[in-house]
Copies of this chain bind each other. A is one copy, B any other.
Amino acid sequence: MIPTPYLLFLGDAPDALAGKVAQGIKDWRPELCIGQIKLEGCNADMGLQDLTIEEAVSKGAKTMVIGVANRGGFISDSWREVIKQALESGMDVASGLHNLLRDDIDLVETASLNERELHDVRIPSIKYPIANGVRRTGKRCLAVGTDCSVGKMYTALCMEKEMRARNMKASFRATGQTGILITGNGVPLDAVIADFMAGSVEWLTPDNDADHWDLIEGQGSLYHASFSGVTMALVHGGQPDALILCHEPTRKHMRGLPDYQQPSLEELRDTALTLARVVNPDCKVVGVSINTAALSEDEARALCEETEARMGLPTVDPFRHGAGRLVEALG
Chain A interface residues (CB < 8 Å from chain B): 130-135, 189-195, 197-199, 222-223, 225-233, 235-237, 254, 256-257, 259-260, 263, 271, 274-275, 278-279
**Can you list 17 contacts pairing A with B, beta carbon distance less than 8 Å?**
A132-B225, A132-B226, A133-B226, A133-B254, A133-B260, A135-B259, A191-B194, A193-B194, A194-B230, A195-B226, A195-B230, A198-B225, A222-B275, A226-B236, A229-B231, A229-B233, A229-B236
Given the interface contacts A193-B191, A193-B192, A194-B190, does A199 sit within 8 Å of B226 by beta carbon? Answer: yes
Q: How far is the CA of A260 from the CA of B222 in the complex (A)?
A: 22
With known contacts A194-B189, A260-B133, A229–B226 Cβ distance under 8 A? no
Assess whether B190 is in contact with A195, with CB atoms less than 8 Å apart. yes
A308 to chain B, nearest CB (A): 25
In contact, B197 and A229 (Cβ under 8 angstroms): yes
**Is B233 in contact with A228, judged by CB distance below 8 angstroms?**
yes
State whether A133 touches B257 (Cβ < 8 A). Answer: yes
A226 engages B131 (CB within 8 Å): yes
In the complex, chain B residues whose CB is within 8 Å of the CB of A275: 222, 228, 271
Tell me whether B229 and A279 are in contact (CB under 8 A).
Answer: no
A194 touches B195 (CB 8 A): no
